[in-house]
Structure 1
Amino acid sequence: MKTSFEHALQRYSLNGATMGGRYTAIFYATGQADVAAIGASLYAAVDRVDRQMSTWNAASDLSRLNAAPENTWLAVPQELALVLAAGLQVSRESGGAFDMAVGQLVEDWGFGPSQGRPSPQIAAQHGKAYHPATDALDVDLAGRQVRKRAPLMLDLSGIAKGFGVDQLAHCLDGWGIDSYLVGIDGEMRARSSRPDGKAWSVAIEKPTPGIREIGGVMELHDMAIATSGDYRRWVEIDGTRHAHTMHPALRLPVSNRLAAATVLAPSCMLADAWATAFMVLGDAEGVALASKRGMDVLFVLRHGAALEEILLVDGKIA
């Protein structure tokens, strides 16, 4: 017969390195939980995503796809096919603001695997036609295969981390754990609430370059959250900072009044991709689209040294 102690829920916290950052998993389970096995499965979940979708790993499935010839179907893992299909969907729904085909731009500006010196002149005019992923990428989900119809260098940094968070969540779901908060860096996903009935609290970082400070707190309950901003990764050229998010149409780093966009969505993959899309769209177009779609988004605008927040709940300004 099990004692009440054995039935009592205990708090566990696991973490590790992945995707150039760290993953975390805070969850509640009984004292009989096999924490070592759970930890191993969490690591395996994010490691699988990293091995499939990293541009920093020359042996990844994404690197293999980038190097593949055009007009040839290439077999890919199911997870990669799902992410590519979701990326195409967000790209279409955002009018091309989110585009996975920015890999060469990312590389030219010094944010890619080679971490070379930024080459803005090459990035702006390297003479090659730009092919959005929606125009040149076919994804066959049922057949788990992908085809490029034009030269493409794909980059999944705006969606893969969110998918990795979803995989952490699915992992804990598989262990029968129904109270958790998982994340990779600032992208998070929560299931249910804490055992005391309180929602999970997630800190929102203030978009101050080079300084880590909390700007606010959001509560999550069966929801995911992701933030994209101009304050974590940038290069400085002739005294001007250029953020790492690329504007597909302009073929340049994003330059608008948005300092950060934080999106709440059912999946972290979609929250991640939409946060990137809104950074590209900027405050006016971004707020308009989020409102039209009935989304929950926090826009932080930069006015010199001052910051302005616009919070949309179900598409309406709160």
Structure 2
Amino acid sequence: MQKAVRRSFAKSFEGLGSRAAFLAHPLGAATKLAETLHIGDRRHKFSATRFLMGTQVSIVALHLSKDAAEKAVALAFNEIERLSAIFDRHRSGSPVSQLNETGRLCDVAPELFEVMVKAKSYCHRSGGAFDSSVLPVLEMMQNNCDSKGQVKLNQSDFDDALALVGSDMIHVSESEISFDRRFMAVTLDGIGRGYIVDRASDILVDNGIENHLICAGGDIRARGERAPGQSWLVPIDKPSSQGGYSAVIKLKDSAVATSYGSEFYFDAEGYRQDEAIPKTVFAPHVGAGLSVVAPSVMEADALSTSAFVMNFESGLRFINEQKKSECLISGLSGAKMFSRNWDALVGI
């Protein structure tokens, strides 16, 4: 698998010169939450927004008791804050930052163990397209980017960073996580936020809020219904800054995650970086957007990242092979590609 992962990343950098490679990033699909819901069963709508996990997190909860809804939403936000303290690689002293600093972590939180196991699973499932150990490559590019957005690297520097990429070199158990090589590091940005949103959704259900919507950037979780017999409606933004929506989809007890592409040019002057908001892996689609609907946000997030780093045909084939998952690919020209059962699953 390690060789397969290295090949997957190396393909994005073949033929340095006039060729381009791209990054998927979590700009996400904006959801415009209606201020007024026409609810015929006397339920109350309680909504709240906080800035967490580096984005605006909005929760809409429906319940006969407004107080019950408010209390449950507060508990959900508390869970997001608790789990963010575990997965935030930027936060000094967090388990993930400790792992990246030392290459070894004991006394592993059960939530981190679960996500690390899932990350390795998605790496295998995607043939190396999804890999949490790509962080050294991303940091190398960011650290060599000047104020003009140009990145100057040589092949040797890139090869050194690439040698640190490979989930097979990460060992995970309930008591310890360790790396085979010094200077390896992980980012769970492409899976951890989805996991956290799913857990927050579970907190709401455990507290009697079976009908709710959570939007955290491009990670969206819908449970139950927005009104009796009506699924939640979620608009997906068009790629880039076109404005408008690529689609408006219906969600019930499911989730959607969206990846967009930004461009890196390779030429004699180095790399020109148009947008520096990487998700987890290199992607070959400038200006495109890929949305995946799946049973959970964590799965939708990992699958959208995985499919986005493949070419369009391979990405569609990959999603068609997954159970209960569908995808929409939108290009700058307005062209769209759908997985096999997209319309049946989410169309309105």
- The answer to which of 163-172 and 306-315 deviates more is 306-315
Question: 2:313, 2:276 → 1: CA distance?
Answer: 19
> Where does residue 329 of structure 2 map in the other structure?
300
Q: TM-score, normalised by structure 1?
A: 0.82
- Rate the CA distance shift 1:191–1:247 in 2: closer, same or farther, 3 A: closer
Q: Deviations over 1:165-219 (max 9, x none)?
A: 10220110121111111121121111121232200001101002x4553222110
Q: Structure 2 counterpart of 1:20, which letter?
A: G
**1:86 counterpart = 2:118:** yes
- Rate the CA distance shift 1:122–1:203 in 2: closer, same or farther, 3 A: farther
Question: Which of 128, 136, 161 is the aligned partner of 1:96?
Answer: 128
> Where does residue 136 of structure 1 map in the other structure?
169
How far the C-alpha of 1:155 sits from its partner, in A, is 0.8
Question: 1:205, 1:191 → 2: CA distance?
Answer: 21
Question: Which of 263, 274, 280 is the aligned partner of 1:241?
Answer: 274
How far the C-alpha of 1:47 sits from its partner, in A, is 1.0
Q: Structure 1 counterpart of 2:245, which letter?
A: I
**1:226 counterpart = 2:257:** yes
Query: Which stretches in structure 2 are left out of the alignment for 5+ residues?
Result: 1-40
**1:289 counterpart = 2:318:** yes
- The answer to which of 234-243 and 285-294 deviates more is 234-243
Question: 1:239, 1:147 → 2: CA distance?
Answer: 35
Secondary structure of 2:142's partner?
coil
Q: Which has the higher contact order (CA 8 A, sep 6+)?
A: 2
> Where does residue 10 of structure 1 map in the other structure?
44
> Where does residue 101 of structure 2 map in the other structure?
67
Q: How many residues align?
A: 298
**1:105 counterpart = 2:137:** yes
Question: Which of 307, 311, 314 is the aligned partner of 2:338?
Answer: 311
Contact 2:73 2:204 (C-alpha < 8 Å) held by counterparts: no
Question: 2:163, 2:300 → 1: CA distance?
Answer: 26
Task: For 1:1-318, list aligned pairs within 5 A.
Answer: 8-31=42-65, 33-69=67-103, 72=104, 74-110=106-142, 119-121=151-153, 125-128=157-160, 130-140=163-173, 143-151=174-182, 152-208=184-240, 210=241, 212-230=243-261, 241=274, 244-245=277-278, 253-256=282-285, 259-294=288-323, 296-302=325-331, 305-314=332-341
Q: Deviations over 1:43-88 (max 9, x none)?
A: 211112221111221222110111124xx55222111111111111
- Rate the CA distance shift 1:139–1:212 in 2: closer, same or farther, 3 A: farther
Query: Which stretches in structure 1 are left out of the alignment for 5+ residues?
Result: 1-6
Question: 2:50, 2:209 → 1: CA distance?
Answer: 19
- Rate the CA distance shift 1:118–1:68 in 2: closer, same or farther, 3 A: farther
How far the C-alpha of 1:117 sits from its partner, in A, is 6.4
Secondary structure of 1:230's partner?
strand
Cα RMSD for the two superposed structures: 3.2
Q: TM-score, normalised by structure 2?
A: 0.75
Question: 2:111, 2:329 → 1: CA distance?
Answer: 32
Question: 1:243, 1:307 → 2: CA distance?
Answer: 24
Question: 2:230, 2:69 → 1: CA distance?
Answer: 24
Q: Percent identity between the aligned chains?
A: 22
Q: Deviations over 1:227-246 (max 9, x none)?
A: 11115xx6787766366447
- Rate the CA distance shift 1:66–1:35 in 2: closer, same or farther, 3 A: same
- Rate the CA distance shift 1:118–1:37 in 2: closer, same or farther, 3 A: farther
Secondary structure of 2:309's partner?
helix
Question: 1:123, 1:205 → 2: CA distance?
Answer: 37
Secondary structure of 1:25's partner?
strand
Q: Structure 2 counterpart of 1:136, which letter?
A: M
Question: 2:55, 2:130 → 1: CA distance?
Answer: 22
Q: Structure 2 counterpart of 1:268, which letter?
A: V
Q: Structure 1 counterpart of 2:290, which letter?
A: A
Question: 2:201, 2:232 → 1: CA distance?
Answer: 14
